[in-house]
Amino acid sequence: MSLAKREALSHLDWLEAEAIHVLREVAGQCSNPVLLFSGGKDSICLLRLAEKAFRPARFPFPLLHVDTGHNYPEVVAFRDRRAAELGERLVVRSVEDSIRAGKVVLSHPLEPRNRHQSVTLLDAIAEFGFDACIGGARRDEEKARAKERIFSFRDEFGQWDPKHQRPELWSLYNARIHKGENIRAFPISNWTELDVWQYVAREGLELPSIYFAHRRPVVRRGAALMPVTELTPPRAGEVVEELSVRFRTVGDITCTAPVESTAATVEAIVAETAVTTVTERGATRLDDQTSDASMEQRKKEGYF
Amino acid sequence: MSLPAERLEAPPDRGLLRFTTCGSVDDGKSTLIGRLLLDTKSILADTLHAIERTSRRRGLEAVDLSLLTDGLEAEREQGITIDVAHRYFSTGTRKYVIADAPGHEQYTRNMVTAASTADLAILLVDARKGVLTQTRRHSYIAHLVGVPHLVIAVNKMDLVDWSAAVFERILADYRAFAEKLGIRDVRFLPLSALRGDMVVERGAHLDWYRGPTLLELLEEAPAAHAAADVPFRFPVQWVCRPHTDAHHDFRGLAGRVESGTIAVGDSVRVLPSGLVTQVKELRLGDVALREASSAQSVMIRLADEIDVGRGDLLVKAGEGPEPTRAVDAMVCWLSERPLSRSRRYVVRHTTRETKAQVAEIAWRVDLAALEQVPADGLALNDIGRVSLRLAQPIAADRYADNRATGAFIVVDEATNDTVGAGMIL
């Protein structure tokens, strides 16, 4: 065999091609998939990838947002605008409704709602009969995710069983399920936070403004900065400061902390991300810090 | 803060390399991965603090780098790694995806899984123990699964006084055995994952070794998809028919170029139908391409309205395998329920799915002796030669010639589980 080589694809081109392949496998194998779109940077990348996978046709799936009711208004507005620009159908189901229906019981009114999204998501899956949910989760985000498949099987209760996952070989994905079961598909599994930002830069993707440095009243709580909002008032004795911050992830207001930063452009964020010393969730997700296993626990309960 | 644009372009992008590491718990595999991540500055401060805390709680003196790869609750409780984990690091010039397969009894299943997507495998040998049965087993599997590059990392050199003679002896032993298996692309290097010598830094103890460090080897290794002389293969995943006024007659075949290259104007043949036509247009998103090559996901428009759908394979006219309903393959069994002639299976090959029956189980491999032994079935972690009859024809290459079109998975029709991995002979 001759060893003539040509230039390899750049790492972003390779990751993009893999993600498009995964999206098309979902379209080819599943009869009623849905793409989870939150208005966050990872799912914004998914939408660009879906355009490259399926245009000029419409996406072979609607978009679904499981709304915690604890979102920054900028993100919700962005979500609606982006879906409209793409001309794709957006379904919103809210944790608020699950609370009103008595399916979610809060232990206190301002409890973080990330965990409760599972209930609303499983109800939406049942309501629409979705057989697959496409999500923007990445393996580098968290230890339990590092072991998850690209096509991840969930039983009829939406549960992930880490000890009985389907082996995943080559790029031969197995999306076969029985009625009531579900596949979660993760096209950007192999991307890191830096890859996402580099892709955002390369593709010129628009993001909600809170990803970029802005001035915001915050309090220091432990190692984190907590934004001061109606949902997250300062506690007794805490000093409110106005700092230049940006969000690395966008989630439930009550448990998503910004980082101090002056990076106001995508390029500046790429540069900051390349030299950061703290992981994305370590810096910003207070709910993952309760225990080493909290993400794993949530996923077993049906979380994406 | 703003940055000049060239900072984002440079240094040159050497693309992405996927590799796997093989070895048992005692070989220091997890420590090696931890060392690579640590010395390429890929471990962030909060993660490092977390494993420092855990190491102290367990009464360890030094930081246990292997803690970086134990992800799940059950794994931490039991102190073993259960499943393939993926790790990522980047050197600025290249991005790496590590598939880390655990080393306990389910090893074969996990190693085959991790190796199936690897461009390179690092096989750890304990310098004190030399080439063991296990080393041979791992080499056999890496070779069977067609991992293009094999690196034999002789670890724990610190425990044999950094001895060149020990290294040379292991190298000679290994070469004798590798030749018999037909393993060609193999590199050797001495290192100490614990101390870090020859992993990322050269260290101070191995002056007699003149070759590259492990990281230098990784930076140089060509990615599998960069091979230029492999025939064009394009399994159709999905057909794009917008049915809109603007794109009334648009019909695009969506898929990934699994090997080779294709250009506008090339004549292509559709398998299994055998129909021939030309490529009218190639596109990636809204960008028209003149040519597309291996690993690119694109959309192909054909010159003629012929019947093509998901599961079909495009090849260049005059090339390509004859579709067949009978395949002989090496099959690795992945399920606790053994391979049985009476069970109903589905085979997924590229984007095509077909029902399958076992015609014959010729033999299985005794993985300790690396010999063929008679077999009635295949149990979990067995590898054997199996003949299958298929309900529909598939256009398959020999796995040795093409990993993408020579591989299949076996799915149990009753449970829908992935139960076997096949490599066509």
Q: What is the token pair recorded at B34?
A: 């931890």
Residues β-bridged to residue B289: B282
Cβ proximity of B35 and B1 under 8 Å: no
Q: For residues B46 and B412, what is the distance between their CA atoms, to the nearest angstrom? A: 43
Q: For residues A24 and A150, what is the distance between their CA atoms, to the nearest angstrom? A: 13
Predicted pLDDT at A167: 93
Class for domain B11-226, per CATH?
Answer: alpha beta
Do B82 and A163 make contact, defined as CB atoms within 8 angstroms? yes
Which residues of chain A does B71 touch, with a Cβ-Cβ cutoff of 8 Å? 143-144, 146-147
* pLDDT of residue A5 exceeding 50: no
Q: pLDDT class for A101, splitting at 50, 70, 90? A: confident
Interface test with B, best of A7, A20, A61, A170 (most B CBs within 10 A): A170
| Residue A31 touches partner B, C-beta closer than 8 Å | no
Start-end of CATH 2.40.30.10 domains in chain B: 234-316, 324-424
H or E segment and range at residue A79: helix A73-86
Which residues of chain A does B2 touch, with a Cβ-Cβ cutoff of 8 Å? 265, 267-268
Interface test with A, best of B93, B95, B244 (most A CBs within 10 A): B95
Predicted pLDDT at A143: 75
Do A271 and B3 make contact, defined as CB atoms within 8 angstroms? yes
Q: How many Cα atoms within 13 Å fall on the side-chain side of residue B420?
A: 35
The fold of B234-316 is Elongation Factor Tu (Ef-tu); domain 3 (2.40.30)
Which residues of chain A does B409 touch, with a Cβ-Cβ cutoff of 8 Å? 169-170, 172, 174
| Residue A179 touches partner B, C-beta closer than 8 Å | no
Do B247 and A56 make contact, defined as CB atoms within 8 angstroms? yes
Omega before B148 within 30 of 0, i.e. cis: no
Predicted pLDDT at B82: 61
Sequence-ordered strand ranges (E) for A136-279: 151-154, 182-185, 214-221, 224-227, 241-246, 259-260
Which residues of chain A does B245 touch, with a Cβ-Cβ cutoff of 8 Å? none
Q: Are strands A259-260 and A241-246 parallel, antiparallel or unpaired?
A: antiparallel
Tell me whether residue A243 is exposed, middle or buried, using C-beta atoms within 10 angstroms of its C-beta: 0 to 12, 13 to 18, 19 or more.
middle
Class for domain A11-193, per CATH?
Answer: alpha beta
The better pLDDT of the pair A6, B212 is held by B212
The residue type of A278 is V
Which is nearest to B410 in space by CA: A167, A132, A187?
A167
* pLDDT of residue A255 exceeding 90: no
Q: What is the token pair recorded at B338?
A: 């053994």
Q: For residues B397 and B425, what is the distance between their CA atoms, to the nearest angstrom? A: 8
Which A-chain residues 90-149 have CB contacts (< 8 A) with chain B?
139-140, 143-144, 146-147
* pLDDT of residue A83 exceeding 90: yes
The pLDDT > 70 percentage for chain A reads: 89
Cβ proximity of B152 and B185 under 8 Å: no
Report helix angle A193-203 to A41-54, nearest 10.
60
Sign of CA dihedral A204, A207, A209, A214: negative
* pLDDT of residue A35 exceeding 60: yes
Q: For residues B157 and B193, what is the distance between their CA atoms, to the nearest angstrom? A: 9
Do B83 and A21 make contact, defined as CB atoms within 8 angstroms? no
Which residues of chain B does A86 touch, with a Cβ-Cβ cutoff of 8 Å? none
Predicted pLDDT at B58: 78
ipTM given for this complex: 0.92
| Residue A174 touches partner B, C-beta closer than 8 Å | yes
Do A201 and B13 make contact, defined as CB atoms within 8 angstroms? no
Q: For residues B129 and B144, what is the distance between their CA atoms, to the nearest angstrom? A: 24
Predicted pLDDT at A299: 64
> Residue ranges per domain, chain A?
11-193, 195-289
Q: For residues B341 and B376, what is the distance between their CA atoms, to the nearest angstrom? A: 9
Q: Would you put residue A41 in left (φ > 0), alpha (ψ -120 to 50) or beta?
A: alpha
Q: Would you put residue B198 in left (φ > 0), alpha (ψ -120 to 50) or beta?
A: left
Predicted pLDDT at B260: 95
Contacts of B24 (CB under 8 A, 6+ apart): B103, B107, B134
Lowest-confidence pick of A25-39, A262-276, B275-289: A262-276
Which A-chain residues 37-66 have CB contacts (< 8 A) with chain B?
51-58, 60
Angle at A36 between CA A30 and CA A39, to 5 degrees: 155
Predicted pLDDT at A290: 46
Q: For residues B332 and A1, what is the distance between their CA atoms, to the nearest angstrom? A: 27
Start-end of CATH 3.40.50.300 domains in chain B: 11-226
Cβ proximity of B240 and B299 under 8 Å: yes
Cα distances (Å, whole numbers) of residue A282 to A141, A153, B75, B334: 9, 27, 21, 36
| A121-146 average pLDDT score | 91
Do A170 and B403 make contact, defined as CB atoms within 8 angstroms? yes
Q: Which residue of A has its CA nearest to B81?
A: A147
Do B284 and A140 make contact, defined as CB atoms within 8 angstroms? no
Of all residues in chain B, what percent are helix, strand and coil, respectively (each to 5)? Answer: 25, 35, 40
Superfamily of domain B324-424: Translation factors (2.40.30.10)
Cα B384 from chain centroid?
20
Q: What is the token pair recorded at A277?
A: 């010393």
Predicted pLDDT at B307: 93
* pLDDT of residue A269 exceeding 80: yes
Which residues of chain A does B356 touch, with a Cβ-Cβ cutoff of 8 Å? none
Do A53 and B254 make contact, defined as CB atoms within 8 angstroms? yes
Task: Closest CB to B348: pick one of A174, A192, A278.
Answer: A174
Cβ proximity of A219 and A238 under 8 Å: yes
Q: What is the pLDDT of residues A210-236, one digit of tens each?
A: 999 999 999 998 888 999 988 888 999
Q: Which residue of B has its CA nearest to A212?
A: B1
Mean pLDDT by 10 residues, chain B (425 residues): 42 85 79 88 74 77 69 53 80 90 73 93 94 89 93 96 98 92 90 95 96 96 75 97 88 97 97 96 95 96 95 94 96 94 94 96 91 94 96 96 96 96 98
Predicted pLDDT at A297: 66
Q: For residues B24 and A135, what is the distance between their CA atoms, to the nearest angstrom? A: 34
Chains A and B form CB pairs within 8 A to the count of 214
